Structure 1
Amino acid sequence: MKGKLYGIGVGPGDPGLMTIRAKELLDGAQVIAYPVKKPGEDGTALEIIKQKVDISGKEVVELLFSMNPDDEVRKRCRAENIDRICGMLDQGKDIAMITLGDVAVYSTYMYLDREVRDRGYETEVVPGIPSFCHGAAKAGLPLMIGEESLAVLSMAKHDIGKVEKAVDCIDNIVIMKAFASIREIADMMGRKGIPLSNATVMSNIGMEDEYVGPLETDRKYGYFTTVLIKKKVN
């Protein structure tokens, strides 16, 4: 009998925010797989679950997802991971692939899910709490209220033009992967006439060096940094 692949969001950083469903599946899985950008790299998601899940006796598998700018290199890397996962599923092993936040939000897992299903294997996506939801809660801010709109964007490619277009027509903008783009975001807000006080930075949410507060261009932020811009402050 073939195993089943689970894509599990473990939340933004605080292990106490991992869902009951995620904990149950992680307890029962024979294999825990986690994504890394470089071989031997610490897996943040793995460190989170180790505080709630006993992984001794489980097979822990590192999956390398290359950040090479060459799209073909990244595709080959994903194909190798899919082959590896399917090989373990053929052995009847249930695999829990863990990811930070929610599986459906900029997650490496979603590159694999459809391909694995298309090969005839069963998969399940298990949601987690996204970092921007936790950050907004910490800041006491609504992401949307009334008839307001919301956009979620990534600054991984430093595409500030995309953010500017969103600001023109969207009430609230969540900018993920923003740690290296704080100055660009601040300058864009200036061009659009939006006060910096309308921006809230959520950095390394749920981790020891967490920061939730105003956007300060001279502050150093952690890798997991998101900015929430609210055009209207209620």
Structure 2
Amino acid sequence: MIERRGKLIGVGVGPGDPELMTLKAVRMIQEADRVILPQKEAKEARAYKIALGAVPALAGKCLLGLDFPMTRDKDLRDRQIQANYESLRSYLKAGEKLVFLTIGDPCIYSTFCYLKIYAEEEGYQTSLVNGIPSFVAAAARLNIPLCLDDEEVHLLNGKSHLAEGLALPGSKIVMKAGPCSEKLAEAVDKLPGARVYAVKDCGLPGEEVFNDIHELPGDYMLTVIVKE
């Protein structure tokens, strides 16, 4: 398959604090022909607001906002992702360097990786630029280590089998925990001696820290760390 000039790059902007963005992420945004945001109103996207704090030149870039519905309906999700790819396909065909901004890291639960598959199938170049994941930033905000010595770390999300995951040894991280906060509390109550830490909107102006599993908000952007 002939490789074409257009390139699609997934860039992580970190959890919220612009100072946590990497130098490479900043450079990719500066060099982009067009910046893609995972929200129809591009300038309202969380990733845009974070990146703007580190790259003021972003305000003058060509933007493309795409809608990604929050749904568990796989067919609906797949149709929307395909439609989103069609929305950016002409720019790839024209040889543009497209930078897709995602909060956290594009390798972890990112919608970008679905678009990446479509681009690669048509022979376009793709790449990933890491950002600091929310759970790493949350641990730093809480001033605690995630693991020491031979301690294990397990990454879960709100759709996981929480009871089984939380029963694993070591530190357990639950991402996107807000919608499952009640189920999470029930599971943690069955773990004697478990220590719970949680951060909502880590690094953003509305950041909040919680230590009581029964007081967690239902916000999507909630990261919970459960330690033995």
Is TM > 0.5 for Structure 1 vs Structure 2?
A: yes
**Aligned pairs (5 A) from 1:135-150:** 135-150=138-153
Matched, 1:28 2:28: no
The DSSP-based 3-state class of the residue aligned with 2:63 is strand
CA deviation digits over 1:4-44, x for unaligned, max 9?
111000000000111000001101101010102xx437200
Q: Specify the code of the residue in structure 1 equivalent to 2:220.
A: Y
Residues 84-163 of structure 1 aligned to structure 2 (within 5 Å): 84-155=87-158, 157=159, 159=160, 162-163=161-162
Match of 2:214 in 1: 217
Q: Does 1:206 align with 2:200?
A: no
Q: 1:151, 1:107 → 2: CA distance?
A: 18
Q: CA deviation at 1:163?
A: 1.7
Matched residues, number? 223
TM-score by length of 2: 0.91
Distance in 2 (CA, whole Å) between partners of 1:181 and 1:69 is: 14
Aligned equivalents of 2:92 and 2:183: distance in 1? 45
CA drift of 1:152 comes to 0.7
Q: TM-score, normalised by structure 1?
A: 0.88
- Larger displacement relative to structure 2 (104-113 or 9-18): 104-113
Quote the offset at 1:191 in angstroms.
1.8
Aligned match for 1:46, one of 42, 45, 48: 48
**Which residue type is aligned with residue 183 of structure 2?**
E
1:174–1:228 Cα contact (<8 Å) kept: yes
Counterpart position of 1:227:
224
Q: How far apart, in 1, do the equivalents of 2:215 and 2:178 lie?
A: 12
Partner SS state of residue 78, structure 1: helix
- How far did 1:2 drift? 2.3
- SS of 1:12's partner is coil
Aligned to 2:189: 190
Task: Give unpaired runs (5+ residues) of structure 2.
Answer: none
Contact 2:181 2:217 in 1 (8 A): no
Amino acid at match of 1:10: V
- Percent identical across equivalent pairs? 30
